[in-house]
Amino acid sequence: MNGDDFLAARFEEHRPHLRAVAYRMLGSLSEAEDAVQEAWFKLERADTSGVANLGGWLTTVVGRVCLDLLRARVARREDPMQDRDGREVRLPDPVIGGAQAIDPEHEILMADSVGIALMIVLETLSPAERLAFVLHDLFSVPFDEIAPVLGRTSASTRQLASRARRRVQGAAPAPDADLALRREVVEAFLSAARGGDFDALLAILDPEVVARSDGGALRPGLVRHGATEVASGASAFGARFAGESRLVLVNGEPAVAVFAEGRPVSLAAFTVRGGRVVAMDIYTDPERLEALGLTA
């Protein structure tokens, strides 16, 4: 094995970890792949003979690439949907799992309970806050290694992560730990929605539940608040698509994929806390659903 092959082999060892870092930074699977590939290009051009920890070096390189992508995203001034408080809401790309064996790279992506609700909160952080929080809190990168990426002091970087942590803890509390019980709640929701049982839906939904839909290119995204509003929408949707559906996992959370004539028409991920649904994140963008490869 020559030097180039050895370097490529070492990079491939780190690829799943780097992809997980980039996904948490960007919320986009395709952009995460691009960021990892850019890290490989930088590695090819760099002199790493003095690098003792190649994994750590690559992690900070991916972080820097993602930081540039996030800053460019802000500069483009995209127009995402907003909640009733005027805060931006972006649905990240979902990572799909199921009853069958999960791809090893997807296992890493889904680890540490990084559910859709947490990913949505990460989307509200500034690029610098997101980098500091993701690298330190989710991947245990020391602040003195993150600081040079941001061009800040270690103390300033620590403050950024602390501010981000407070926002995350306030907006994305941890779901119930028991996956089987969460699945039972989702199954009860699906049964009530199919039957148009409004009272049963109200019993399953938290009074302050939030439902978010990405909408897709043909219609704007939508945010619904409160059990009554969400139950009304779920009842209507369940009556229309009462046929094919199956349970899957989205970022480790129970979810329902709905099909019409064998094609996916929606994917709803549920966050369950205290035995009730506190958040629903619904994907209906046809292009996005097609890319997920879901089958009835």
Question: Domains (ranges, CATH) in the chain?
Answer: 3-171 (no CATH), 179-292 (3.10.450.50)
Residue 154 pLDDT > 60: yes
Secondary structure (3-state) at 27: coil
Q: What is the pTM of this model?
A: 0.84
Amino acid 82: pLDDT: 53
Amino acid 216: pLDDT: 60
If one compares 113 and 271, the residue with the highest pLDDT of the two is: 271
pLDDT band, residue 271 (cuts 50/70/90): very high
Contacts 24+ apart (CB under 8 A), 7-13: 7/43, 7/44, 7/48, 10/54, 11/40, 11/43, 11/58
* Residues across the chain: 296
Query: Tens digits of per-residue pLDDT, 45-81?
Result: 888 878 889 999 999 999 999 999 999 987 665 555 5
If one compares 12 and 105, the residue with the highest pLDDT of the two is: 12
Query: Tens digits of per-residue pLDDT, 79-129?
Result: 555 555 555 567 899 988 764 444 555 555 555 557 888 898 898 899 999
Q: Scan for tokens 């909160």, then name that residue.
A: 121
Range with the poorest average pLDDT among 129-133, 156-160, 213-217, 272-276:
213-217
Closest CA to 251 of 60, 65, 99, 108: 108
If one compares 213 and 216, the residue with the highest pLDDT of the two is: 213
Amino acid 295: pLDDT: 79
Range with the poorest average pLDDT among 30-39, 151-160, 227-236, 270-279:
227-236
